[in-house]
């Protein structure tokens, strides 16, 4: 598409999400990894010496030779992907945006700022208009929590066609979602941990903004009741969620499967490089989806759905699996940037 690729930086490049950015950006057709940044502990070292690379693909040669910089807004790249720890992300991301950088963030800090889109390109691309009212020279765009993304991708076609009244969701979340080194092995082997700090609150609130309506100046949350219970399980990558929904209008099992199968949106129409061919994959096998088998489906950017059946309490229940550090984090953020570029939101870079 472009002759010259756009230079990008990764903040928090040594972390769990940061490493996924490095992996996914290595052959990106539009973006070129130009700089990496992390904490003072890593700054000044070569990336290969600062990072404990835990991906299954080799550490890309170009990234390996970069010197890790501090997370200060003096970088050459105007597009910065943030995989920063939430304890520091809020302030650092704001400093970058004030200095004219486009910050595409995974962190929770700015998700509920009134002028910041909480973006899933297949669902609410119109929310990007919010950045025009941001007070920054640049902009901040966030992507949702890793469990929220899979859930909302599965709910969106149902909401559009039948309307949703209530959702109950129980998650079984992968270890990579806790960052690196994350949960101690003695805590998680032979165990399930029925608590992930702030996760339930995020899952109950984020979908309301994402599925909300852009009124021309702000987002009006959608009126859906969501109850979430979140658990950490001994899976490396891929969050699994069991979901129950009560719909506003009657729908048959075949109609629900059809709206999932037929669901495509702007990223597919624009053929964005990181877009899955189909955001939702429905499996008929009675014991699917499973994280080990399905987390990498369609570039690890799709949500796998299965076991749709009637529910004696709600209307229907089903199971979903999606890749938490790709669709739920780095891949989702790169797709956000691709959409912004394609729609002309990345200016003067
Ligand atoms: P992580 O593995 O703990 O990585 C954190 C990164 O932040 C590291 O690169 C670390 O650099 C850097 N950092 C820490 N303190 C810093 C400071 N004072 N100044 C500058 N950089 C600092 O965490 P993660 O799992 O990748 O998560 C990163 C963010 O993405 C979090 O906000 C998380 O909530 C969000 N997120 C994670 C997932 C997931 O599946 N893991 C999904 C969605 C969203 P050093 O190595 O130098 O310490």
pLDDT in tens, 307-322: 999 999 999 999 999 9
Task: Please check the confidence at residue 298 and state whether its pLDDT lies above 60.
Answer: yes
Residue 239 is a catalytic residue: yes
User: From the candidates 34, 146, 281, 323, which is the catalytic residue?
Assistant: 146
As a whole number of Å, the CA-based R_g of the chain is 19
Same domain, 121 and 155: no
Hey, whose CA ends up nearest to atom 40 of ligand 1?
Answer: 177
What is the SS3 assignment for 189?
A: coil
For 149, 220, 252, the CA distances from 24, given in Å and listed in that order, are 18, 34, 39
In a domain, 348, yes or no: no
Ligand 1 touching residue 38 (CB < 6 A): yes
In a domain, 316, yes or no: yes
Residue 270 belongs to domain spanning: 146-323
Same domain, 150 and 132: no
Ligand 1 touching residue 37 (CB < 6 A): no
pLDDT above 90 as % of the chain = 97
Task: Please check the confidence at residue 348 and state whether its pLDDT lies above 80.
Answer: no
Question: What tens digit of pLDDT does each residue of 95-141 get?
Answer: 999 999 999 999 999 999 999 999 999 999 999 999 999 999 999 99
**What CATH code is carried by the domain that includes residue 315?**
3.30.360.10
Same domain, 154 and 125: no
Mean pLDDT of the chain: 97
What is the number of structural domains in the chain? 2
Same domain, 174 and 319: yes
Task: Please check the confidence at residue 349 and state whether its pLDDT lies above 90.
Answer: no
Same domain, 180 and 315: yes
Question: What tens digit of pLDDT does each residue of 261-284 get?
Answer: 999 999 999 999 999 999 999 999
Same domain, 162 and 306: yes
Task: Please check the confidence at residue 2 and state whether its pLDDT lies above 50.
Answer: no
Angle at 153 between CA 147 and CA 155, to 5 degrees: 100
Residue from 83, 147, 201 whose mutation best tests the ligand 1 pocket (most atoms within 8 A of CB): 83
Tell me the pLDDT band of 33, cut-offs 50, 70 and 90. Answer: very high
In a domain, 347, yes or no: no
Ligand 1 touching residue 238 (CB < 6 A): no
Task: Please check the confidence at residue 1 and state whether its pLDDT lies above 60.
Answer: no
Same domain, 95 and 210: no
Which atom of ligand 1 is least distant from the CA of 41?
47
What's the rounded Cα separation, in Å, for the pair 74 and 269? Answer: 36
Ligand 1 touching residue 86 (CB < 6 A): yes
Same domain, 176 and 303: yes
Closest to 161 (Cα-Cα) out of 258, 241, 226, 227: 258
Q: Distance, CA 182 to ligand 1 centroid (Å)?
A: 11
Question: What tens digit of pLDDT does each residue of 176-205 get?
Answer: 999 888 999 999 999 999 999 999 999 999
Hey, whose CA ends up nearest to atom 25 of ligand 1?
Answer: 179
Beta strand segments in the chain, E:
6-11, 31-38, 69-70, 79-82, 102-105, 139-142, 164-173, 213-214, 219-220, 225-232, 239-247, 280-283, 303-310, 316-322
Ligand 1 touching residue 42 (CB < 6 A): yes
pTM: 0.97
What is the SS3 assignment for 160?
A: helix
Ligand 1 touching residue 18 (CB < 6 A): yes
Provide the pLDDT for residue 3: 65
Provide the pLDDT for residue 180: 86
Same domain, 141 and 167: no
Same domain, 68 and 165: no
Q: Distance, CA 250 to ligand 1 centroid (Å)?
A: 43
Same domain, 202 and 213: yes
Ligand 1 touching residue 16 (CB < 6 A): yes
CA 12 to chain centre: 16
Closest to 175 (Cα-Cα) out of 229, 106, 231, 237: 237
């Amino acid at each position: 598409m472009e002759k010259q690729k756009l230079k990008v930086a990764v903040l928090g490049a040594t972390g769990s999400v940061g490493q996924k950015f490095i992996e996914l950006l290595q052959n990106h057709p539009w973006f070129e990894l130009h700089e990496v940044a992390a904490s003072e502990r890593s700054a000044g070292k070569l990336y290969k010496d600062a990072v404990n690379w835990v991906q299954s693909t080799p550490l890309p040669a170009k990234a390996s030779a970069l010197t890790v910089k501090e997370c200060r807004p003096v970088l050459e790249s105007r597009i910065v992907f943030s995989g920063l720890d939430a304890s520091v992300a809020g302030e650092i991301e704001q400093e970058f945006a004030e200095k004219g950088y486009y910050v595409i963030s995974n962190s929770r800090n700015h998700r509920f700022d009134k002028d910041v889109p909480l973006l899933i390109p297949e669902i609410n691309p119109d929310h990007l208009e919010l950045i025009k009212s941001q007070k920054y020279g640049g902009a901040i765009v966030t992507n949702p929590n890793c469990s929220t993304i899979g859930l909302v991708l599965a709910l969106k076609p149902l909401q559009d066609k039948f309307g949703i009244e209530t959702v109950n969701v129980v998650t079984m979340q992968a270890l990579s979602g806790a960052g690196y080194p994350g949960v101690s092995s003695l805590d998680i082997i032979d165990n399930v941990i029925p608590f992930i700090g702030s996760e339930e609150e995020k899952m109950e609130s984020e979908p309301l903004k994402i599925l909300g309506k852009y009124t021309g100046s702000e987002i009006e949350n959608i009126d859906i009741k969501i109850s979430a219970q979140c658990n950490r399980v001994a899976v490396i990558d891929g969050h699994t969620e069991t979901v129950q929904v009560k719909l506003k209008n009657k729908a048959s099992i075949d109609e629900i499967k059809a709206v999932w199968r037929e669901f495509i949106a702007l990223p597919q129409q624009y053929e964005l490089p990181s877009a899955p061919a189909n955001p939702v994959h429905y499996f008929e096998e009675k014991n699917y989806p499973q994280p080990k088998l399905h987390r990498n489906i369609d570039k690890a950017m799709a949500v796998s759905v299965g076991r749709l059946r009637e529910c004696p309490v709600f209307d229907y229940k089903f199971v979903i699996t999606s890749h938490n550090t790709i669709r739920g984090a780095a891949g989702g953020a790169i797709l956000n940037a691709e959409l912004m570029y394609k729609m002309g939101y990345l200016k003067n870079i």
